Amino acid sequence: MLDEVIRNDLISKAYEARKNSYAPYSDYQVGAALLCEDGSIYTGCNVENASYGATNCAERTAVFKAVSEGKRRFRAIAIAGGSGDNMGMAYPCGVCRQVLREFSEPSEMIIVVAGKDFEYREFSLEELLPESFGPDFKDI
Ligand code: THU
C-alpha cells in the first residue's frame, strides 16, 4: 500500500501531465506520474502519431524520461486516462507493464489506476504481469 499523501501527489501529477496529452487520433488522453526509488517523480503523457504505430503511451513517456535522466529503479506509478472530461480507469497496456518490469521489483512496484476525483485502484506489478520475464533472466 502506498502512503496516502504520496498516492494523492502522484495522482494529481498524473492529472496535470494528462493536460499535455497529444491524442488527436484516439481523443483518449492519458497522464502518468512515476515515483523513483530516490523519491524523484517523472511525469508523462501519451504522444500519438499520424502513423498510429509510432504512438507512445503516457507510462512509457514517464519511464523513458526518468531513465534518460539516470534513474533505474521505480517504486510506483499513477495513471489517469479518459476521453475529455469522461475519466475512466486506464489500465496500463501490456507493453508498458513489461517496460515497468525492466526497472522494478514486481512484488513491490505499485500501480495506481486513477479515475475521477482521486478515485483509484491499487495493484502490484506482479498482479498485473504475473510470471513475468525480466532482466534477471538474461544470464540463464
Ligand atoms: N494509452 C496510454 O497512454 N496508456 C495506457 O495505459 C493505455 C493507452 C494511450 C495510447 C493511445 O494514445 C491512447 O491511449 C488510446 O489507446
DSSP assignment of 66-117 equals HHHTT---EEEEEEEEEETTEEE--PPPHHHHHHHHHTS-TTT-EEEEE-GG
Residue closest via CA to ligand 1's atom 8 equals 57
In terms of Cβ atoms closer than 10 Å to its own Cβ (0-12, 13-18, 19+), residue 64 is middle
Please give the model's pTM, rounded to 2 decimal places. 0.96
Residue closest via CA to ligand 1's atom 14 equals 28
Residue closest via CA to ligand 1's atom 5 equals 92
Domain residues for 75?
Answer: 4-137
Domain total for the chain? Answer: 1
| Any atom of ligand 1 within 6 Å of the Cβ of 26 | yes
CA–centroid distance, residue 139 to ligand 1 (Å): 33
Give catalytic residues, as residue numbers. Answer: 59
User: Dihedral angle at the C-alpha atoms of 9, 11, 12, 16, nearest 10 degrees?
Assistant: 130
Q: pLDDT tens digits for the chain (140 residues)? A: 899 999 999 999 999 999 999 999 999 999 999 999 999 999 999 999 999 999 999 999 999 999 999 999 999 999 999 999 999 999 999 999 999 999 999 999 999 999 999 999 999 999 999 999 999 887 65
Q: For residue 21, what is the domain's CATH number?
A: 3.40.140.10
pLDDT of residue 65: 98
CA–centroid distance, residue 10 to ligand 1 (Å): 18
